[in-house]
């Protein structure tokens, strides 16, 4: 029987006297079919290493270890470390790291893989309260992760994968899609977790692009402009940019000239602009000295 079997999960929790910490966003999946689909989506084999974040009691880890070369699982809750050692005792290719993934020295940890040169995929059921910081931390790191197959709140998955001219599209869509392709693979109902979260979940697959989707002169400035464009979603691009840069006559003249040069109408909203539009606009604003 699988760790994810409801009765097995319950038995493990009771045997170890484990109680959930709401602050850590702990929701354990009890559906082996869904876990199998996650592992299948990740397309693992013995020539791939995996990093998992928040393994819980090891329900997903079990499926990953059966396919991958090695699994390195980062678990912040030290109460779960002995439980994982017990539930995953049959797997010699699993290493549990009792660290916060945001504070871990990942380049050093990756060297601990038996073969650190294998492609690395991130496969995880991410804690909902900190999904975005974890994703951006990993994506913006210099580590060339091949794929991400991650479960998260459905609303966040929809935002990451959103296209322009949709309600979900925003600065998070741009920040991720600049580096990665992103696609919602399937949704997961809240009823298959212990305890049940208040929202439905989705599995998002992201694959790193060989090069960023658009080329810009200053990446930090590009992301700054895309964030500024969505500060007040219902306001026009012009209003958001003047709020960000200021409303002096000199500034407004530079903004107007930059928008014209980028071929962007001041009256549109940020959600109508593609990544290419934002790239052109950011470069024009940078050239104008803003």
| Domain co-membership, 152 together with 108 | yes
Q: Please list the ranges in the chain whose pLDDT falls under 50.
A: none
**Which tokens sit at 159?**
């935002």
pLDDT of residue 22: 75
- The verdict on whether residue 105 carries a ligand-binding annotation is no
- The verdict on whether residue 200 carries a ligand-binding annotation is no
pLDDT of residue 141: 87
- The verdict on whether residue 54 carries a ligand-binding annotation is yes
For residue 41, give the nearest of 120, 121, 127, 144 by alpha carbon. Answer: 121
pTM for this prediction: 0.89
Q: Is 79 exposed, middle or buried (0-12, 13-18, 19+ CB in 10 A)?
A: middle
**Domain final residue, candidates 161, 181, 208:** 208
Is 214 within the bounds of a domain?
Answer: no
Return the SS3 of 276. Answer: helix
Q: Give 264-279 pLDDT, tens digit per residue.
A: 999 999 999 999 999 9
| Domain co-membership, 236 together with 195 | no
| Domain co-membership, 21 together with 102 | yes
Contact 284, 256 (CB under 8 A): no
- The verdict on whether residue 239 carries a ligand-binding annotation is no
**Domain final residue, candidates 208, 228, 263:** 208
| Domain co-membership, 166 together with 263 | no
**Domain final residue, candidates 181, 208, 235:** 208
Calpha distance 259→240 (Å, rounded): 13
| Domain co-membership, 97 together with 55 | yes
| Domain co-membership, 16 together with 95 | yes
pLDDT of residue 26: 82
Q: Which domain range does residue 243 map to?
A: 219-287
Residue 182 dihedral angles phi and psi, to the nearest 5°: -140, 130
pLDDT of residue 25: 74
- The verdict on whether residue 125 carries a ligand-binding annotation is yes
Please report, for the domain that includes residue 264, its CATH number: 1.10.8.100
- The verdict on whether residue 33 carries a ligand-binding annotation is no
| Domain co-membership, 197 together with 249 | no
pLDDT of residue 121: 97
């Amino acid at each position: 029987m699988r760790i994810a079997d409801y009765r097995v999960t319950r038995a493990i929790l009771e045997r170890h006297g484990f109680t959930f910490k709401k602050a850590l966003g702990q929701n354990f999946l009890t559906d082996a079919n869904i876990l199998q689909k996650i592992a299948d989506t990740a397309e693992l084999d013995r020539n791939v290493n995996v990093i998992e974040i928040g393994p819980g009691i090891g329900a997903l880890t079990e499926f990953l270890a059966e396919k991958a070369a090695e699994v390195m699982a980062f678990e912040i809750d030290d109460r779960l470390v002995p439980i994982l050692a017990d539930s995953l005792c049959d797997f010699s290719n699993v290493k549990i790291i009792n660290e916060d993934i945001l504070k871990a020295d990942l380049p050093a940890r990756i060297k601990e893989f038996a073969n650190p040169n294998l492609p690395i995929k991130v496969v995880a059921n991410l804690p909902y309260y900190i999904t975005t910081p974890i994703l951006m931390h990993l994506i913006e790191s210099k580590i060339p992760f091949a794929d991400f197959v991650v479960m998260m709140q459905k609303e966040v998955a929809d935002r990451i994968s959103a296209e322009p001219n949709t309600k979900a599209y925003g600065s998070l869509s741009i920040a991720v899609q600049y580096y990665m392709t992103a696609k919602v693979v399937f949704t997961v109902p809240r009823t298959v977790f212990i305890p049940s979260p208040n929202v439905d979940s989705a599995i998002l697959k992201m694959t790193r692009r060989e090069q960023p989707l658009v080329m810009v002169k200053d990446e930090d400035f590009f992301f700054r402009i895309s964030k500024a464009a969505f500060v007040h979603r219902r306001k026009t691009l012009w209003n958001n940019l003047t709020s960000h840069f200021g409303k002096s006559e000199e500034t407004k003249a530079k903004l107007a000239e930059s928008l014209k040069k980028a071929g962007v109408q001041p009256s549109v909203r940020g959600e109508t602009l593609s990544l290419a539009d934002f790239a052109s606009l950011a470069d024009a604003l940078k050239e104008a000295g803003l």
